[in-house]
C-alpha cells in the first residue's frame, strides 16, 4: 500500500513538474498573438524600424513562435523569448517586465571603454563599513574568476539581445552591479571575489564583496500608465505622457542611492571645471559659477532628469537669474539623464532663450480611446475665455509649465487635430507639434541670453534627447559629448491577463521628427563637438575631458 502511494505521488509530482516547467506551446502562441495585436495598434515607429533595420512585426512574431515549436521550453526560457521579441525593435522605450522582483546590488557602478571597466561611483559609507578597498578610477578586471567583459556581454545578451547601440552597452555596464530577476535568470547571492587594478599599479589585487540580495520583495510595476477615467482635467494622460527610460522607474525602487547616482544622478561624473566663484545650495540641481583662466565666468547646471514640477522650476528660475547676471556663458549637463515629462522640459527650455523656440513634431498612434479623451477635454476647455479660468480648470501649471489661455488654445487645437485625423481613417497621425505646442515661448520673468553649451552622452534618453534637439534645431546652443540615446517618442504601458508572469510591457506610441524629416528615434542628437571618455579620463579624474571642455568654452561665443 505504501509503495503504491509513493508510486502515485511520483506520477502526480512528475505531471505537476511537467505542467509548470514545460508550458503549453499553443497557449504561448496565443499569448504572442495578443502582444502582436498591441504592437499593430500602438507601435508608432514600425515603419521607421522597417526602413532602418528591416524589422518586421510579422517576422519577429513568427521567429518567437518558431522557438517555442522547436522544443519544450520552461517559463524562464519563454520569458527570454519575449525579451528578445521586444528587443528586436531596438527601441529603448520598448520592453517587457515580469513579476520576478528578485534583485541584487553591489553599491558601486562602472563605465567602460574598449572593454575595460572603471569604477565611476562607490557608496563611501558601504565601503567604510565593509572595509572595501575599491575607489573611483580603479579598473574592474573580474568577478569570481570571470572577466568583467564576459559578464557584461552575458548581461547585454540577456537584457538587450543583439541591440548594438552604445546606450545598450552603457546600461549593461550599469547592470554589472545591479542584477534584476527581470532581466537575467541567475541573480547572484552571497560574496563575490573582485579582481581589480589601481591606476599606475602593475599587479592586480582582490577583495571580497557581499551582494545586497532581495528575494521577491518589491513591487515591479511601471507607473507611467494613467486611468483614462480621471476626476480632474489636470490628470489627463495628454498632459502626462511619459518620455523616460522605463528601467529608471524600477531603479528608483531598488535603493535610495540609485536615485542620485549615474543614471539620473544629481552630481556630475567629473569634478568642478575650474576655480569656483559661487556655488548653489539647491538640492535638485548641482550648479556653480567658475573662473575660466581668470578671464571668463562660466556657469554650470546639471539637470539630472525631467521629472520635476513647480518646485524644481522655481529653483531653476533662481539659478538662471543668477547665471544671466554673473556669467559670460552657461553649460547645461544632461548626461546620464533618463528623461521624464515634456511639459517640465518645456518649462526649463523657456528660460534658456529670449526668443520663441520652435518645437519638434511627431506622429501619434491613435484609437477610439484617444478620441474619447480629446472629446472630454474639448467639452471642458471650449468654455475657457481667460487665464484665470484656465488655471481654475487645469491648475496653475502642468509639471511646472505655466497654464494660461494661450496654453488652452494649443491643447484645443491639438485635440481637434487628433479628432480630424481619426475621422479621415488614420491610425497614425500626420506630423504635429509635440503636446500641441508649436512654440515654447520665453519665460516672462527670467531667461538666459548668453552662449549656451549642452553636454550629452548615450544615456541622455527621451526628454534628454528632446531637450538638446530643440536647442540645436533653433540654433540656440551647441552640443558637446557623444550622440544622445535616440529614444524619440512617448511611452505607453500595457497590461493583459496571462499565465507567464508578464507584469506589463511598454511600447512607443509616437515618433518624433526633426526639421529635416529625420526621426529622433535611434538617430539621437549628434554633437557639434564630439568627445568620448577615454581610459585616462576614468583613471585621472576626467582631466582630459575638463581640459577639452574648457578649451571649447574659452573660444565659444
Burial tier of 251 (Cβ tally within 10 Å: 0-12, 13-18, 19+): buried
Give the SS3 label for residue 277: strand
Q: How many CA atoms lie within 13 A of 189 on its CB side?
A: 7
pLDDT of 197: 97
Please name the residues in contact with 341: beta carbons below 8 A apart, sequence gap of 6 or more.
240, 241, 242, 243, 244, 306, 307, 399, 463
pLDDT of 99: 84
- Angle between helix axes 342-349 and 310-326 (nearest 10 degrees) is 20
Question: Where residue 238 falls among pLDDT bands split at 50, 70, 90?
Answer: low
Q: What is the mean pLDDT of residues 209-238?
A: 55
CA distance 463 to 248: 13
Q: Please say if the pLDDT value at position 65 is more than 60.
A: yes
Q: What is the mean pLDDT of residues 125-154?
A: 95
Name the residue with cell 533653433: 474
Which of 391, 404, 386, 477 is CA-nearest to residue 441? 404
Give the lowest-confidence range in 160-164, 204-208, 242-246, 410-414: 242-246
pLDDT of 279: 97
Q: Please say if the pLDDT value at position 21 is more than 60.
A: no
CA distance 500 to 497: 9
pLDDT of 168: 95
Domains of the chain: 24-98 (1.20.920.70), 103-214 (2.30.42.10)
Burial tier of 293 (Cβ tally within 10 Å: 0-12, 13-18, 19+): exposed
Contact 88, 60 (CB under 8 A): yes
Q: Please say if the pLDDT value at position 448 is more than 70.
A: yes
pLDDT of 240: 67
pLDDT of 225: 34
Q: Please say if the pLDDT value at position 253 is more than 70.
A: no
pLDDT of 248: 76
Amino acid at each position: 500500500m505504501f509503495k503504491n502511494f509513493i508510486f502515485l505521488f511520483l506520477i502526480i509530482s512528475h505531471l505537476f513538474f511537467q505542467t509548470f516547467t514545460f508550458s503549453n506551446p499553443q497557449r504561448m502562441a496565443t499569448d504572442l498573438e495578443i502582444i502582436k495585436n498591441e504592437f499593430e495598434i500602438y507601435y508608432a515607429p514600425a515603419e521607421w524600424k522597417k526602413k532602418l533595420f528591416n524589422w518586421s512585426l510579422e517576422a519577429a512574431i513568427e521567429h518567437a513562435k518558431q522557438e517555442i515549436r522547436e522544443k519544450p521550453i520552461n517559463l524562464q526560457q519563454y520569458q527570454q523569448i519575449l525579451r528578445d521579441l521586444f528587443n528586436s525593435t531596438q527601441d529603448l522605450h520598448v520592453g517587457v517586465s515580469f513579476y520576478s522582483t528578485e534583485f541584487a546590488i553591489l553599491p558601486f557602478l562602472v563605465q567602460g571603454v574598449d572593454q575595460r571597466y572603471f569604477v565611476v561611483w562607490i557608496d563611501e559609507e558601504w565601503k567604510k563599513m565593509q572595509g572595501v578597498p575599491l575607489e573611483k578610477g580603479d579598473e574592474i578586471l573580474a568577478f569570481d574568476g570571470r572577466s568583467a567583459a564576459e559578464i557584461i556581454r552575458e548581461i547585454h545578451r540577456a537584457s538587450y539581445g543583439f541591440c548594438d547601440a552604445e546606450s545598450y552597452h552603457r546600461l549593461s555596464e550599469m547592470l554589472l552591479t545591479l542584477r534584476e530577476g527581470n532581466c537575467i535568470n541567475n541573480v547572484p547571492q552571497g560574496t563575490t571575489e573582485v579582481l581589480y587594478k589601481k591606476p599606475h599599479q602593475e599587479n592586480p589585487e582582490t577583495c571580497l564583496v557581499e551582494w545586497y540580495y532581495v528575494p521577491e520583495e518589491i513591487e515591479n510595476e511601471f507607473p507611467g500608465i494613467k486611468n483614462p477615467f480621471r476626476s480632474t482635467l489636470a490628470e489627463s494622460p495628454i498632459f502626462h505622457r511619459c518620455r523616460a527610460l522605463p528601467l529608471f522607474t524600477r531603479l528608483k525602487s531598488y535603493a535610495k542611492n540609485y536615485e542620485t547616482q549615474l543614471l539620473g544622478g544629481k552630481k556630475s561624473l567629473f569634478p568642478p571645471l575650474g576655480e569656483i566663484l559661487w556655488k548653489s545650495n539647491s538640492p535638485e540641481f548641482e550648479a556653480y559659477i567658475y573662473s575660466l583662466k581668470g578671464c571668463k565666468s562660466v556657469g554650470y547646471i546639471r539637470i539630472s532628469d525631467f521629472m520635476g514640477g513647480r518646485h524644481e522650476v522655481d529653483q531653476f528660475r533662481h539659478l538662471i537669474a543668477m547665471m544671466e547676471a554673473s556669467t559670460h556663458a552657461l553649460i547645461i549637463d544632461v548626461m546620464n539623464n533618463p528623461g521624464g515629462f515634456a511639459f517640465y522640459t518645456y518649462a526649463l527650455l523657456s528660460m534658456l532663450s529670449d526668443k520663441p523656440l520652435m518645437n519638434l513634431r511627431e506622429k501619434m498612434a491613435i484609437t477610439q480611446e484617444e478620441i474619447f479623451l480629446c472629446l472630454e477635454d474639448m467639452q471642458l476647455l471650449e468654455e475657457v475665455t481667460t487665464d484665470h479660468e484656465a488655471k481654475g480648470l487645469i491648475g496653475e501649471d502642468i509639471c511646472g509649465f505655466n497654464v494660461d489661455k494661450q496654453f488652452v488654445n494649443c491643447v484645443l487645437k491639438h485635440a481637434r487635430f487628433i479628432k480630424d485625423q481619426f475621422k479621415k481613417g488614420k491610425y497614425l497621425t500626420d506630423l504635429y507639434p509635440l503636446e500641441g505646442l508649436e512654440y515654447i515661448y520665453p519665460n516672462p520673468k527670467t531667461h538666459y541670453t548668453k552662449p549656451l553649451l549642452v553636454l550629452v552622452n548615450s544615456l541622455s534618453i527621451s526628454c534628454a534627447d528632446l531637450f538638446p534637439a530643440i536647442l540645436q534645431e533653433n540654433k540656440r546652443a551647441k552640443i558637446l559629448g557623444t550622440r544622445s540615446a535616440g529614444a524619440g517618442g512617448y511611452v505607453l504601458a500595457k497590461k493583459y491577463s496571462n499565465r507567464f508572469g508578464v507584469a506589463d510591457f511598454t511600447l512607443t506610441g509616437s515618433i518624433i521628427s526633426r526639421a529635416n524629416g529625420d526621426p529622433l528615434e535611434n538617430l539621437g542628437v549628434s554633437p557639434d563637438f564630439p568627445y568620448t571618455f577615454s581610459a585616462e579620463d576614468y583613471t585621472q579624474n576626467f582631466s582630459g575631458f575638463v581640459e577639452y571642455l574648457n578649451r571649447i568654452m574659452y573660444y565659444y561665443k
